[in-house]
């Protein structure tokens, strides 16, 4: 889409970027969910290389905080928010792994398909289940980017899910309190 069209946008633009070998369809599914659930414009960009300094040689995982810092420093002025999608294992020092990571009211979220692609018993789910999980994580992380905290309601997308089983049981829904906070955040981006 030409830059001239962006000048007239009334909705903030979310840019979804697949990194490395991440399937582009996953980025498109996430962009569609952001557009549909949050009523925001969302675009996908072509795949980019994973920032090489994000790999932690001792853990053999990628540091999500470092990725976020790198992308926050990148020149992507058209994007109100950025969702970076990976197929590698992400971590932050506090946890063994993360499905996704974003700073509250930040600009960049990092999401990994790596652990979403495996059931708790080690088997592989169908691709539509992986995409559903990725979309839930993306909406959760977008909530953080729009200043929401974790929610105690287990039926809200802002509830913390530490396992894929928990994530699978979470419906595509924000509770009324989180939905109200999202509306306020989106009314004044």
Which residues are known catalytic residues? 141
Q: Which residues pair with 112 in a beta bridge?
A: 86
Distance CA 138, CA 132 (A): 10
The rounded Cα 123 to chain-centroid distance in angstroms is: 24
Write out the H or E segment, with its range, that includes residue 62.
strand 61-63
The answer to whether the beta carbons of residues 137 and 143 sit under 8 Å apart is no
Distances (CA, A) of 52 to 3, 91, 182: 29, 15, 34
Distance CA 144, CA 158 (A): 8
């Amino acid at each position: 889409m030409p830059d001239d069209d962006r000048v007239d946008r009334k909705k903030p633009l979310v840019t979804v970027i697949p990194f490395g070998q991440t399937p582009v369809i996953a980025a498109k599914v996430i962009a569609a969910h952001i557009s549909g659930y949050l009523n925001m414009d969302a675009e996908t960009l072509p795949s980019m290389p994973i920032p090489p300094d994000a790999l932690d040689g001792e853990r053999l995982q990628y540091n999500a905080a470092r990725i976020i810092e790198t992308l926050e420093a990148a020149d992507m002025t058209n994007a109100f928010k950025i969702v970076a999608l990976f197929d590698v294992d992400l971590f932050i020092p506090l946890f063994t792994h993360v499905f996704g990571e974003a700073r509250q009211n930040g600009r960049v979220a990092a999401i990994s398909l790596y652990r979403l692609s495996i059931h708790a018993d080690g088997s592989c789910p169908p691709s539509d289940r992986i995409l559903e999980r990725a979309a839930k994580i993306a909406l959760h992380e977008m909530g953080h980017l729009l200043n929401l905290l974790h929610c105690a309601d287990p039926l809200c997308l802002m509830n913390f899910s530490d396992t894929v089983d928990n994530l699978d049981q979470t419906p595509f829904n924000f509770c009324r309190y989180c939905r109200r906070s999202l509306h306020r955040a989106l009314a004044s981006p």
